[in-house]
Amino acid sequence: MGISVGITYAIIINLTLLLRHETLSELTVPGLDNKAYVKDGDILIGYLIHVYRYSRSEFCSNVVRPTGAQNTEIAGFIVDRINEDETLLPNITLGFVVFDDCQKDLTALARSIYFVPSTKKGQTSDGNHYKVAGIVGPIYSRQSVMVSSFLGLFNIPVLSPLSTSDELSDKSRFPFFMRLVSPDTFQAVAVVSIVEHFRWSYVSLLYSEGSYGENAAKHIERLTRSRDICLAVSKRLSSDYDDADMARIVSGIRANKDAPVVILFLECADFRKLFGYVRKNNLTSHFVWISGDTMPCLETLDVEEVGLGALFIAHQNGMVPGYEAYVRSLSWKDSPNPWRPLMYEDFYHCTWSNSIRGDDEKSCARYDNLENATNVTWTEPAKISDCFMVYAKAIHNLISDHCPELFASNRSRNFSACITGSRLISYMKNLSLDGYSGRITFDSKGDMHDKYEIRQVRGSLRDGFYHYPVGDWERTTNLLFLNRTRLDWGGKKKNLSRMKIQSICSRPCKVGQYYQRKEVHCCWECITCRDNEVTVRNMTDCQPCPDFTWPDNDTKTKCEPITPYYLKGTDSTGLTLLSLEILGVLIAASIVVIYIVKHNNKLIKATSKELSILILIGCMLACFVAMFFITYPDNVSCLLRQSGFHLVVCIVYSPLLTKTSRVYRIFSSGKKGISRPKFISSKAQVFLTTAMILIQVIVLTALEQLFPSSTIRLMPFPYEPYVEITCSLRFESFLPPLSYNLLLIFVCAVFGFLTKSLPENFNDSRYIFVSISTTLFMWSLFLPTYFTTLRSDHKAILLSVCLLLNTFITLLCQFFPKVYAVFFVSEESIKFNNSGTTTSIRITPSCATISGT
């Protein structure tokens, strides 16, 4: 039964009890006897141990474990010692209550009901329920999960001698659980350290269903991956597997002939099935077993010869001085221990059957004690004895600190008020003592800082089997010591200590590679994915990342969004453009100020001041619009980019066209001797210029309605991690306003060409022609480049540079000469022609000659 199912049962039973019984002490469990070994005392310690073997269908089976009854006597032995020690709990008698959990989690849960506090003092009237300070046991993790999750509701500490499941370290679920061993995590580390010590790189793993096996398997798999050890087979053994299932599993292991080493994290029932099949099919010599701490249960399964040579993890345990003599002196007569007669059956191989007469050799009644028993399989009582010692020492310290008056025997004493579960568990965690199994200290989770022994199964069928220590593993240092000279692999495996298994499997693939499996399981070739691909399906294939994403650098297993790039004002290119844009604005603004301050200057008056200022405003706006090409693209900035680009060009060249056409018409009519042409006044010029600009505004407004400004992400190069965000510019929305501006520039260039050679040394037309010719040449280069380049930041640079060049060429060719003349040429040297529309400025060797309109 899985742990999650067991917890579900526990919750259901707890709720049933709480809902249906006002007093839990009135509860009994149908089908379960209330047999207990009780020694009364001032303070009671509960003790859950398995006497009978597991039964799937019943609370208990009828089959006695060989050392089951012997384990119950440990409580009497160690409690007597504690009570005899005058320095420990003086004037206080420690007692105990022993129940059989039958190696079954539900049975352990049912037994723990008898430890639930009641309103009555000591035992209840029916003798079924006991008030205990804490519990020793259970042995196995499944039972401990059940018991501690239930008794924790009543703040009753549970101290297990050997439960190793990792989940029991979860203090949010088991706040009152402690143990005299380290969790399975460290067993897994020790086992893998053994494998690594022999340089074995290709092994198999078998583990039991449930908390013990499955948690250990997770750690084994993680550790083997991290240490370049390949698992040829990793299989879970279910509790309902039969010989056919075992045949399939063993065949799978044998199929990997280069992996004779098998790691085992099995419960006893699975050991019996696996080793029974191996022995039945004469496959003992085919495998080398490396096991967790459950290997000693082979002693009771009659299959120990299969494990000959096996290495396994053992907790520091052993005999306690005086224990054997104590057990041998026990008599079955008037025994308070209901299971003591079973020891006689085990020690003397006799029977208590009523059909056998008391003086018969097969009758156990003929023995008064166990003194003469031979070939006894002794249990190791150190861990269990230490559990009682921890309770005794912690209770002693607790009473000394909080209620020392309880040590006095001449008064009424209330131990329950002083010894609470919360206090006791705290004192137990902070305890430090030298126990029978070694130095005892606990971490913050209540797990003992354990030191593992590495033992090997030795012996023979004739002489018996034993477990020989060959090394140890220290938890605090994570160091393995293994004396290889002590190893004896037995039989056909006697030379294995010198054997080096060569791994035929590949090392883990690197990041960005996928596994191409070969015929042998867990062997592969590493194939490198393309730059834009990630590994998928547990690194068995490559898959391209979607657009605008790229494989992550660490694992190459997920596609991460690429941060879009755009031309920023903080980039070197952006800073250069920004500097030029600011310079352009400052120059144009300065010229505007000069035109305003010097508005009475003859030259300023004669140069179409309104149109000139409009051109200067267009130049400033061009620099402002260029700034939006180095900002983050959004709908507003895209509108200003696209519409602003065309509009500012129109604002600059519409006045120029008006100006050149006016000059051409004036001088053409002057040559023909006709009267002054129409529409050459300042108002007319402004009106014509405004009309041309308005046409562009109408075109841009209509196009914005048809093709609204928006942004778009582009990935111009699929195999490069480059994404850009830019304005979505459709050719249909870009061509009409561009064509209109080109028409203005072209017509302006025609008029500039026609007026480039005018009388009176009229220089303005020449400068206009140079300006427009340069602009046309520049646009003929920039436009093809713009439409052929792939990167949007390059396009933004081109348009920005185009606006800046237009601005500086216009300022240089059309305004710098006039500004120079305003400041460095005297007004007296300026002469107007008869029409009053042109000026002639002739510069002597000390001055220049400038003409203007």
The pLDDT assigned to 41 comes to 93
Distance CA 792, CA 564 (A): 11
Q: 78-92, 276-290, 659-673, 708-722: lowest mean pLDDT where? A: 659-673
In this prediction, residue 59 has a pLDDT band, given cuts at 50, 70 and 90, of confident
pLDDT, tens digit (0-9, with 9 covering 90-100), for 378-404: 888 999 999 999 999 999 999 999 999
Q: Which domain holds residue 520?
A: 513-560
State whether 159 and 295 are in the same domain: no
The model's pLDDT over 591-617, given as tens digits with 9 standing for 90+, comes to: 889 888 887 777 777 677 788 888 889
Tell me, yes or no, whether 128 lies in a domain.
yes
Distance (Å, whole) CA 802 – CA 790: 18
- 692 and 791 belong to one structural domain: yes
Answer yes or no: do 400 and 257 share one domain. no
Q: Which residue has the tokens 């003798």?
A: 127
Angstrom CA distances, 378 to 62, 72, 74, 313, 334, stand at 21, 13, 12, 19, 24
Q: Is the pLDDT of residue 843 over 80?
A: no
> Is residue 41 domain-shared with residue 170, that is, in the same domain?
yes
Is pLDDT at 90 greater than 80 in this prediction? yes
Q: What does DSSP say about strands 261-265 and 288-291: parallel, antiparallel, or unpaired? A: parallel
- The verdict on 711 and 595 lying in the same domain is yes
pLDDT single digits (tens) 552-585: 988 888 999 999 988 888 888 889 999 998 999 9
* Residues 529-552, mean pLDDT to the nearest whole number: 90
Do 173 and 203 lie in one domain? The reply is no
DSSP structure class, residue 502: P
- Asked if residue 18 belongs to a domain, the reply is yes
Q: Greater confidence, 100 or 603?
A: 100
Q: Which of 182, 183, 268, 196 is nearest to 228 (CA)?
A: 196
What average pLDDT score do residues 475-500 get?
70
The CATH number linked to 244 is: 3.40.50.2300
Domain annotation covers residue 831: no
d(CA 808, CA 355) in angstroms, rounded, equals 125
Which amino acid is it at 583? Answer: L
Q: 458: pLDDT confidence band, cut at 50, 70 and 90? A: confident
Residues 148 and 101 in one domain: yes
Residues 108 and 131 in one domain: yes
Residue 489 pLDDT greater than 80, yes or no: no
CATH at residue 804: 1.20.1070.10
Residue type for 842, please?
R
Residue 433 belongs to a domain: no
> Is 777 in the same domain as 805?
yes
Name which residue leads in pLDDT, 399 or 759: 399
Residue range 213-253, pLDDT digits in tens: 888 899 999 998 888 788 888 999 988 888 888 899 999 88
Has residue 753 been placed in a domain?
yes
Mean pLDDT of 807-834: 75
SS3 48: strand
**Contact at 8 Å (CB) between 441 and 430?**
no
Cβ–Cβ < 8 Å for 211, 184: no
Q: What is the pLDDT of residue 161?
A: 94
| Structure tokens that stand for 565 in this block | 């790039």
Tell me, what's the pLDDT at 7? 52
pLDDT at 228: 75
Domain assignment present for 88: yes
- 171 and 239 belong to one structural domain: no
Q: Tell me the C-alpha distance between 316 and 182, whole Å.
A: 11
Question: Which range, of 119-128, 400-409, 478-487, 815-824, averages the lowest pLDDT?
Answer: 119-128
What integer pLDDT is reported at residue 91 of this predicted model? 92
The per-residue pLDDT of the chain, averaged, comes to: 82
| Cα 301 from chain centroid (whole Å) | 43
The pLDDT assigned to 475 comes to: 86
Of 372-381, 465-474, 648-657, which range is least confident? 372-381
Structure tokens at 337: 């221990």
pLDDT band at 828 (very low <50, low <70, confident <90, very high): low
- Residue 586 clears pLDDT 80, i.e. is over it: yes
User: Are 98 and 122 found together in one domain?
Assistant: yes
Secondary structure of residue 336 in the 3-state scheme: coil
597 & 659 share domain? yes
What percent of the chain shows pLDDT beyond 70?
A: 85
Yes or no: say if 727 and 641 are a contact pair by the CB < 8 Å rule.
Answer: yes
**Percent over 90 (pLDDT), the chain:** 28
E-state strands within 211-287: 230-237, 261-265
pLDDT in tens, 497-528: 444 544 456 667 888 898 887 765 567 788 99
In a domain, 140, yes or no: yes
Query: Is pLDDT of 323 > 80?
Result: yes
The answer to whether the CB of 214 falls within 8 A of the CB of 243 is no
The domain total for the chain is 4
Confidence of residue 537 (pLDDT cuts 50, 70, 90): confident
Q: Identify the band that residue 749 occupies on the pLDDT scale cut at 50, 70 and 90.
A: confident
CB-CB contact of 64 with 346 (8 Å) = yes
Is 808 a member of any domain? yes
